[in-house]
Amino acid sequence: MILLPPGLITDSLTCATINTISDLCAQRLAPLSVPLSVPLSVPLSMEQTMNTTLTTSSLSTMLSSSSLPLPDIQRTFTYLTFGLFDGCVSHYWFSQLDATVGYDMTSPVQIAEKVLLDATVYTPIWCAWFLLFMEGTKAVLKRREDEGGNKGTFGETWLELYKGNLGFFLPLTSLIYGFVDVEGRVLAFGLASLLYTTVLSLWNAERGGDEGDVGDVLCLVPDDDSVSAGENKEECSPIGVPTRSTAMFNPGVRRIGVRAKWGVRKLSKFDLDEFLDTPFFEPDKVSDKSPMKWFADLLVDDYEKAEIIYVGAIFAVLIGVGQAWLREEYHNHINLM
């Protein structure tokens, strides 16, 4: 009888549970959770339209005051599914890392080696896998084509997500590898992600809660008075990219239309429907020869082919994990004999 490696199911279920809780917290704490591509009709009086100082906070309150949105079950299920795979892969990564480098948590050299390998080997692959999984799942489930907004942004989003991981998790990685044994590392990273997601959600809600997708850019649309005064420059600032499992806080990888610049600005003539439908895109900074650029283009141009590649990649991961599991079971069986 073939037995599963000790801790594999525990780590897989742990990661899936934390992903589910984290996503539900992010959705519950978000003050406004509506697709930016859907026009919103908000009754504004003429006095409000002409003279009211609008902030993103008052706008969010006005749009979400009627009722709290229902949780996006499909999105939560996607993160639960990803957590099952993520916990399994993380289990093998931590196990093989200790088997390769060593089990001494008091050795500064071994801790440094683990942190270096985590930052240069596992994290880059994890970021690419996360983005491909999310975008591929979205394509398979919804079969929805964007208007070209996500074209050419995959490699750029991966870089931002990778840098965000290094910025937040690098200090924590040193502590976790130094104080948490291999059996508890999936739980430790998951709890750190959950804490970060909750704090980020609360901060975003307090700030005004204009949540967007990974890689979105927040822009100010100039009004007629600004144009007549010669102030017709669009002011944009990027939305912060979350880290590792906390990327669920802003789950998409599309670059789509945006709402308003942070801060208080007077808008003399404010047409919300037109404003929400106005897209702003950054120039494509991804190399045409990049495999990620090619796959991002394929998601837009040919979903059928992208789905085949996506499903094939998932099977390749499953086969690789299965082979590693069988090898481990074989060695355990040999050792018992």
C-alpha to C-alpha distance for 49 and 26, rounded to whole angstroms? 32
State residue 30's pLDDT score: 63
Domain boundaries, the chain: 8-33+73-212+284-336
Question: Is pLDDT at 70 greater than 60 in this prediction?
Answer: yes
Locate tokens 């929400």: which residue?
276
Residues 246, 252, 256, CA angle at the centre, nearest 5°?
Answer: 135
Mark residue 213 as left, alpha or beta (left: phi above 0; alpha: psi -120 to 50; beta: remaining): beta
How distant, in Å, are the alpha carbons of 31, 82, 205, 240 from that of 56?
Answer: 11, 32, 10, 16
The Cα–Cα gap between 131 and 168 comes to: 18
Q: Is the pLDDT score of 27 beyond 70? A: yes
pLDDT over threshold 80, residue 283: no
Query: Which structure tokens are listed for 172?
Result: 């924590």
Residue 123 scores a pLDDT above 70: yes
Per residue in 188-221, pLDDT (tens digit) is: 998 888 877 776 666 655 555 444 444 444 444 4
| For range 322-333, the mean pLDDT | 64
pLDDT of residue 307: 59
What is the spatial distance between Cα 261 and Cα 219, in angstroms, rounded to a whole number?
5
Q: How much is the average pLDDT of 123-128? A: 90
The residue among 223, 217, 219, 221 whose CA lies nearest residue 255 is 217
Say whether pLDDT at 103 is over 70.
yes
Q: What is the mean pLDDT of the chain?
A: 64
* Percentage, residues of the chain above pLDDT 70: 41
Identity of the highest mean pLDDT range in 105-119, 200-214, 244-258, 299-313? 105-119
- What's the pLDDT at 337? 64
